[in-house]
Structure 1
Amino acid sequence: MFKNTISLFSAKVATLLLGLSGCVLPSLRAQEKPLSIEKINSQLYLYTTYNTFEGTKYAANAVYLITKKGVILFDTPWDSTQYQPLLDSIKQKHQLPVIAVYATHWHEDRAGGFAYYNRMGIPTYATKMTNDLLKANHKAQATHLVKINKTYNVGGQSFVLNFFGAGHSLDNVVVWFPDYQILDGGCFIKSSEAKNLGFVGDGDVKAWKPALARLLAKYPQIKMVIPGHDAWKDNQQIKRTEELLTEKQ
């Protein structure tokens, strides 16, 4: 009888734990961190924030570059609650301030933080086309304009912003890091897991594929591509972007 009591008790405990796991695990999944930072190399880091578009949650990828003078952000968090936490995280992780913020196009997941960083006194940068679109859409503009196809050298690091034509948006630029042969494609490049081209209402799908061809002609030996959203660790992003564009023709 004693053994039967132990067995019955064990079965009840197992049932209780199983029931709890059904409650706890979804809760833990729901507590996904709103900001994650991953190391690409000693100078480049990728940070991810999240937001919802048409009822589906997506990850937005962006990068920052560590220089001897400070940290340079390329694009701002998509989640406005992470504007300051990103600065705090970078300061804590690298003991360096953010000294500049560049945007790869005018949408909220790229330039949405300009108003905040402008108030913080951090210089913000964009192309004239991006600034014009920000102004036309009643958004905060960059405090400085950038030149396309110019190599910028800051604190021992270099980068180039290039525009190859319209695509996801009319103003989408990419960032090339020549020392590492890494391309930050922004929303001009789709993730390898992308099911479609996403929102293209502000872009030009017909111009996108020839613009991508010009990019590949300019940078034939890309070692890594960072897409604007979702999976980024494989090497199929450009291939997937080409496939999606071909399907649209």
Structure 2
Amino acid sequence: MYWIGIIFLFSTFLSAQRATLIIEQINPKVFVHTTFNTFNGKQYAANGMYLVTKKGIVLFDTPWDKSQYQPLLDSIQQKHHLPVIAVFASHSHEDRAGGFEYYNQIGIPTYATKETNEILKANDQAIAKNEIELGKKYKIGGEKFIIEYFGKGHTADNTVVWLPKYKILNGGCLVKSTEATDLGFIGEADVKAWPNTIQKLMHQHPIIKLVIAGHDNWKNQGHLEHTLQLLKKN
């Protein structure tokens, strides 16, 4: 196991006794944030990540639930006594980039790829103020991360985050949880290209200690392999 089973609940529970915001610690510098929303009448969890640096917190993907945009910031400040200094989105969907308008308004630098910004703009959605440099080793406050693109899959613009020091991959919606029984929303997917994209990712990173899937249970191992198995069924 590469995660630490400590759960911080920073918000109230829904009537169904489900948390609206969960933050879980992987190691002293890496945390997973989970929020919830409904798709086709069923509630799903959406997982993002954040990295604690000496300069502040780098947030990867915004909450899916817009009511949690500020509570996530408040929870991070309460726990780490540090501000969020950057927000990166892995692709254009609401569970990844939906908070851009809010974070832009309060002055937190937002980041997305050129393609993601083009998709957001075409759909009259708020775009990121800054453009991601794919493959660049970002160095912030003593920590490093790389935003990578391996090809089309869940969307044309889906990227992943690689933490080389910890060998942790934040897969976003490109990677399905081992709990998933199908590919979920594929309205903008390239199902034919998706397997090759996953294989290229696995070739680039043959040793990964932890993969964080975009939705549902992320703590299991085998998410990449399970994603390939699901794709074989389509």
- TM-score normalized by structure 2? 0.93
Q: How many residues align?
A: 222
- State how 1:102-141 maps to structure 2 within 5 Å: 102-141=88-127
Determine the structure 1 residue equivalent to 2:174.
Answer: 188
Q: Is the 8 Å Cα contact of residues 14 and 20 (structure 2) preserved in structure 1?
A: no
CA contact (8 A) 2:57 2:85 kept: yes
Residue type of the partner of 2:68? Answer: Q
Question: Following the alignment from structure 2 to structure 1, what is the Cα–Cα distance between the partners of residues 219 and 148?
Answer: 23
Partner Cα distance (1:225, 1:112) in 2: 23
Partner Cα separation in structure 1 for residue 210 and residue 15 of structure 2 = 29
How far apart are 1:237 and its partner, in Å?
Answer: 0.7
Partner Cα separation in structure 2 for residue 196 and residue 28 of structure 1: 26
Residue identity opposite 1:112 in structure 2: G
Distance 2:186 2:17 in 1: 31
Partner SS, residue 87 of structure 2: strand
Separation (CA, whole Å) in 2 of partners of 1:212 and 1:28? 36
Offset at residue 29 of structure 1 (A) = 6.8
Please report the TM-score for the alignment, with normalisation by the length of structure 1.
Answer: 0.88
Pairing partner for 1:221 from 207, 210, 213: 207
User: Pairwise mapping of residues 5-154 of structure 1 onto structure 2 (< 5 A)?
Assistant: 30-154=16-140
The structure with more helix, counted as a fraction of residues: 1
Q: CA deviation at 1:31?
A: 2.5
Taking the aligned partners of 1:28 and 1:165, their CA distance within structure 2 comes to: 37
Q: Distance in 1 between matches of 2:45 and 2:29?
A: 22
> How far apart, in 2, do the equivalents of 1:56 and 1:165 lie?
29
Which amino acid in structure 1 is aligned with residue 26 of structure 2? I
Task: Note closer, same or farther for the CA distance 1:244–1:70 as it changes in structure 2 (3 Å cut).
Answer: same
Runs of 4 or more above 3 Å deviation: none
Cα distance per residue 1:23-66 (max 9 Å; x no partner): xxxx9871322001000101000010000001000000000000
Q: Which has the larger radius of gyration?
A: 1
CA distance in 2, matches of 1:49, 1:125: 20
Unaligned stretches of 5+ in structure 2? 1-12
Q: What amino acid maps onto 2:144 in structure 1?
A: S
**Cα root mean square deviation, aligned:** 1.1
C-alpha distance after superposition, 1:39-96 (max 9, x if no partner) = 0101000010000001000000000000000001000000000000000000000000
